[in-house]
Amino acid sequence: MHAKRRVSARFRTIATVGALALFLTVAHFGTPAIALGEQQVVVKGSDTIVNLASAWAEAYMELRPDVSISITGGGSGTGIAAMLNGTCDIANCSRRWKEKEKNRASNLGITPVEHIVAYDGISVVVNKKNRVGILTLDQIRRIFNGSYTNWRQVGGPDKRIIVLTRDTSSGTYLYFQKHVLMKDDYTANARMLSSNAAIANSVMQDRWSIGYIGLGYALTSDVKMVKVKKSDSSRAVTPSADAVSNGDYPISRPLLMYTNGQPTGPAGRFLLFVKSPEGQRIVETMKFVPLKAQ
């Protein structure tokens, strides 16, 4: 990556206090000393992953105070664009790259390498005062494609359904469209929101709204998670880490980090930490599903 490197305040403090060498020796991963100017890692992308990535970065910088990690959200598409234009080391994605994105990368001499770092269940959420608590995948599809517009069509009261979706730069938006809507278009009446938190807040405020958010956000928000049935005759499953890891919950996916080629240097060591037992304990703390559960 050729983006301009910035030296953080953390670096300047170390450089002032430690000022006898250009390299810092850190033993935690048995890695060699690295020049101060090479110790920044820029991570951009998925809003679903942004809080988890921030927790990883905070913990890692405690272990490696010579490293500065910058975390930015904005959606999976934002992370992919940043990797294509050379402004990030790691692109966070809640979906896999499209063929046209891979082709563009190839034309630019970029080789995106995928790293599964955790798993997630996409939770369909409603207001806690909404008595509808179980939906089939087909009913969810019909709600979000606009075939159903009233809660009475799925066993609720005679109230208009307010559909909330992520915006088009979101990997969750595309994953949900492909795997739940079966590539149908979202209803033209859907309200597009920029983040998981925005959808959760809207659901909490509007009794008749419905949206979808990552499991970690659903478990830490004051919303009602809908139990999902694969078909009319299937068992209704509440989204949870166990239900995702054992395959019972039908709307689940891997969370991904992409690098340009096999990662080395600071980005590579950060990814080693993310996949380490300590990094995966943070996944559990943040209410996602760790690799070891798969």
CA atoms of 95 and 190, how far apart (whole Å)? 21
Rounded to two decimals, the pTM is: 0.79
Work out the number of other CB atoms within 10 angstroms of the CB of residue 29. 13
Question: Residue 123 in 3-state DSSP?
Answer: strand
Average confidence score pLDDT of the chain: 88
pLDDT, tens digit (0-9, with 9 covering 90-100), for 193-237: 999 999 999 999 999 999 999 999 999 999 999 999 999 999 999
- In this predicted structure, what is the pLDDT of residue 137? 98
The structural domains of the chain, ordered by start, are: 9-117+255-293 (3.40.190.10), 120-252 (3.40.190.10)
In the chain, the percentage of residues whose pLDDT exceeds 70 is 86
Give the mean pLDDT of 265-280: 97
CA atoms of 282 and 274, how far apart (whole Å)? 9
Is residue 229 within 8 Å of 180, Cβ to Cβ?
no
pLDDT, tens digit (0-9, with 9 covering 90-100), for 230-259: 999 999 999 999 999 999 999 999 999 999
Half-sphere exposure of 142 (CA within 13 A, CB side): 12
- In this predicted structure, what is the pLDDT of residue 292? 75
Give the mean pLDDT of 163-177: 95
Instruction: Answer whether residue 9 shows pLDDT above 80.
Output: no
Which residues pair with residue 69 across a beta bridge? 41
